[in-house]
Structure 1
Amino acid sequence: MNQPETTNASRKAEAVKDRMLGHDAFSHWLGLEIDEVGPGYCRLHFTVRPDMLNGFAALHGGVTFAAADSAFAFACNSHGRQSVGLTVTIDYLEAGKLGDVITVEAREESLKHKVGVYHVRATNQHGAALALFKGTAYRTSNEIL
């Protein structure tokens, strides 16, 4: 991809992110902060709050899953075609703790006409891997913008 195409693709990814975030109350409620988006890519972070902990004072797996799912959504929709998850899996490796800053990074591994595959990694502020998520997205023909 040459420079103007890269710039246009990056602008589209930013515009899609802005459009999605404007209607995504759940990501706002989670406190997700988007650090970077690009074609097939998203990096975000959030801080673990008391209301995100389970009964053992560890980050609830549902919160980790939701943050990974959001990063997946921003990455797979970044090309401007509405995409929906077909299947996702997550492996929990370690639990987050109160006050941890969790970074979630989604990377596109394969992009075809109708299907995209993404790997998402969640780490804490020390770089310890907390979860590995894989998502497969169906790419509809609906343009987002």
Structure 2
Amino acid sequence: MSDKSAISQAEGVMQRMLARDAFSKLLGLQVDEMGEGYCRLHFQVREDMLNGFGILHGGVTYSAADSAFAFACNSHGCLSVALSTNMDYLEAGKLGDTLTIEAKEESLKNKVGVYQIRIMNQENVLVALFKGTSYRTSKNI
């Protein structure tokens, strides 16, 4: 598959997923770039995303990273699901921050893919790291 058709396929899969993904829409996720095994998106931290201490709720950060992971691992057109994920929180997100989430495929074998996701704020400060391992089913998207 050519690079151009792979990007087109990845974008098509993302659009199909996003059309049915009410939670990603609720978070206000905006996809900036898609490719095979790759997704970059961003969102702005709103007041309704803050926890009781006035900082970004960890579940919001996790959910945004999980969405980027899902878009990246499904970008090949094969239905993929998470086998395992983990998240390290390094800095607190704050009201008004614009967070950019970048998911990159590190390894893809027959059935298992490994993805590294970085969450950065508008000052290029690393806010969190997310690692996801996916299982590729035999179903096409």
TM-score, normalising length: structure 1 = 0.96
The corresponding residue for 1:130 is 127
What is residue 106 of structure 1 aligned with on the other side? 103
SS of structure 2 residue aligned to 1:127: coil
CA deviations 1:71-109 (Å, max 9, x no partner) are: 000000000000000000000000100000000000000
Aligned partner letter, 2:3: T
Which of 69, 72, 85 is the aligned partner of 1:88?
85
- CA shift, 1:5, in A, is 1.0
Distance across 1 between alignment mates of 2:118 and 2:49? 19
Q: Using structure 2 for the length normalisation, give the TM-score.
A: 0.99
Partner of 1:140: 137
1:79 aligns with 2:76: yes
Residue ranges of structure 1 left out of the alignment (5+ in a row): none
Deviation above 3 Å: which 4+ runs of structure 1?
A: none
Distance (Å, rounded) in 1 between the aligned partners of 2:101 and 2:92: 14
TM alignment of 1:2-81, pairs within 5 A: 5-81=2-78
Q: 1:67: how far off?
A: 0.2
Q: RMSD of aligned C-alpha atoms?
A: 0.7
Q: Distance in 1 between matches of 2:90 and 2:139?
A: 36
Structure 1 CA distance for aligned equivalents of residues 53 and 43 of structure 2: 20
SS of equivalent to 1:96: coil
Count of equivalent residues: 141
Gaps of 5+ in 2: none
Percent identical among aligned pairs is 65
